[in-house]
């Protein structure tokens, strides 16, 4: 027999696995000696099955084996039994802590479940008590519930009525403090009530509120950004802001070019789909600039002054291009600049031709006068000489 302690750890584990497999399964996966014995006793392989018969097995073993074979089989089985017992003890020792931990866990689970049952019983008692008291409260207040609901509804209605009556005063305070957003919020909150009862019960409140809100309409002296915010608030009030386009367009058209970009941005925010009108406005502004240049050209402007004016217009066009890229203002300005340069060149050459023509006429008249003067002088000299000679 081999000594168990002399085997390495890996070989021991492998051997343990083989032995357990041969003991619990019907497969032939035992050690080399077991395979050798199975090959010798082919009819004795039913030892690993559930239908194993010990008496039949012993009879077959005695019949087919010699005395030496029986002794060898005895030694092998004794060694296998010893090894299995040793391996089983090792398994128990190795998993002892796990068994202890599992036992403790099971005990804790039992204790917790027992406490949970007590807690659930207490909770059920409390729920039953609360339900009993709730039923008592519902029974005692059942007759007064409808009355309480009516009082609550009446209270809310009185609050709304008081809000409507106080609305004109609140609007005036908000407008005085320039808190226009809060004023619009109050007015829009009362719009549904005014639509339903504005022609009867709350007619005076409606008129006073509308008069207060009408002060939100902006004037032309306000800042562009403030006007844009005011128009957005007017839209919330369903105020017809479309009729403000003409006045806004006129004011923007007459504004200086450094405010033009700000005006266009605000205009785009206020009036959607207004690109065409803004493009026309930008082109009209450029046309007015070149009309002024044309008037200066007709007054005989210097080339340096013309270049300065064109440079100013081009800088304005670049600023306008940032807010109106769809208008193609640089191309539009270049076309008018070509016309202006052409007019300046034509006008300059016309004036030069006129000056040359005038100078020619002056010189020509001087030559004629000189010839006439010489003729008169010579004629007088001839007369004098003729009279003397005679």
Two tokens, residue 173: 């305070």
Q: Name residues whose C-beta falls within 8 Å of residue 228's C-beta, 6 or more positions apart in sequence.
A: 266, 269, 270
Interaxial angle between packed helices 67-94 and 54-64, expressed in degrees from 0 to 180 and rounded to the nearest 10: 140
Cα–Cα distance between 186 and 320 in angstroms, integer? 39
pTM of the model: 0.30
Nearest partner of 48 among 34, 28, 67, judged by Cα:
28
Look at residue 213 in the predicted model and tell me its pLDDT. 62
Look at residue 201 in the predicted model and tell me its pLDDT. 62
Q: Which run of H or E residues covers position 141? A: helix 96-176
Q: According to DSSP H, which parts of 3-49 are helical?
A: 9-24, 32-40
Q: Name residues whose C-beta falls within 8 Å of residue 233's C-beta, 6 or more positions apart in sequence.
A: 180, 181, 184, 216
Hey, how many other C-beta atoms are within 10 angstroms of the C-beta on 82?
A: 12
Query: In order along the chain (390 residues), what is the average pLDDT of each group of 10 residues?
Result: 45 65 50 43 60 82 84 88 88 82 86 77 90 83 77 83 78 76 75 67 68 55 51 60 52 55 70 73 80 79 80 81 79 84 81 69 56 54 45
CB 206 within 8 Å of CB 198: yes
Nearest partner of 300 among 263, 232, 375, 354, judged by Cα:
354
Using left for φ > 0, alpha for ψ between -120 and 50, and beta otherwise, residue 179 falls in beta
């Amino acid at each position: 027999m081999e000594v168990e302690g002399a085997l390495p750890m890996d070989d021991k584990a492998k051997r343990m696995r083989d032995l357990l497999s041969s003991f619990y399964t019907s497969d032939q996966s035992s050690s080399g000696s077991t395979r050798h014995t199975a090959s010798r006793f082919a009819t004795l392989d039913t030892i690993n099955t559930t239908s194993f018969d010990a008496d039949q097995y012993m009879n077959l073993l005695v019949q087919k084996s010699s005395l030496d074979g029986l002794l060898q089989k005895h030694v092998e089985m004794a060694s296998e039994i010893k090894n299995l017992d040793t391996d089983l003890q090792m398994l128990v020792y190795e998993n002892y802590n796990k068994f202890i931990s599992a036992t403790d866990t099971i005990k804790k689970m039992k204790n917790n479940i027992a406490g949970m049952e007590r807690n659930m019983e207490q909770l059920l008692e409390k729920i039953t008590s609360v339900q009993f008291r709730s039923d008592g409260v519902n029974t005692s207040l059942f007759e007064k519930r409808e009355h309480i609901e009516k009082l609550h509804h009446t209270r809310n209605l009185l609050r709304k009525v008081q809000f409507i009556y106080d609305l004109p005063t609140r609007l005036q305070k908000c407008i005085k403090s320039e808190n226009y957003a809060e004023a619009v919020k109050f007015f829009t909150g009362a719009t549904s009530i005014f639509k339903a009862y504005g022609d009867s019960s709350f007619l005076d409140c409606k008129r006073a509120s509308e008069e207060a809100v009408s002060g939100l309409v902006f004037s032309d002296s306000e800042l562009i950004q403030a006007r844009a915010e005011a128009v957005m608030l007017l839209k919330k009030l369903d105020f017809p802001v479309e009729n403000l386009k003409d006045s806004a367009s006129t004011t923007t058209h007459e504004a200086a070019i450094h405010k033009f970009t700000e005006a266009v941005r605000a205009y785009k925010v206020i009036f959607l789909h207004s690109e065409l009108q803004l493009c026309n406005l930008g082109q009209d502004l450029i046309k007015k600039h070149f009309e002024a240049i044309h008037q200066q050209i007709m007054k005989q402007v210097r080339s340096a002054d013309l270049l300065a004016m064109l440079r100013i217009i081009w800088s304005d066009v670049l600023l306008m291009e940032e807010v109106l890229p769809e208008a193609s203002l640089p191309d539009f300005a270049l076309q008018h600049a070509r016309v202006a340069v052409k007019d300046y060149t034509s006008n300059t050459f016309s004036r030069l031709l006129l000056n040359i023509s005038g100078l020619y006429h002056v010189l020509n008249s001087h030559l004629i006068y000189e010839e006439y003067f010489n003729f008169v002088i010579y004629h007088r000299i001839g007369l004098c000489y003729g009279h003397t000679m005679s």
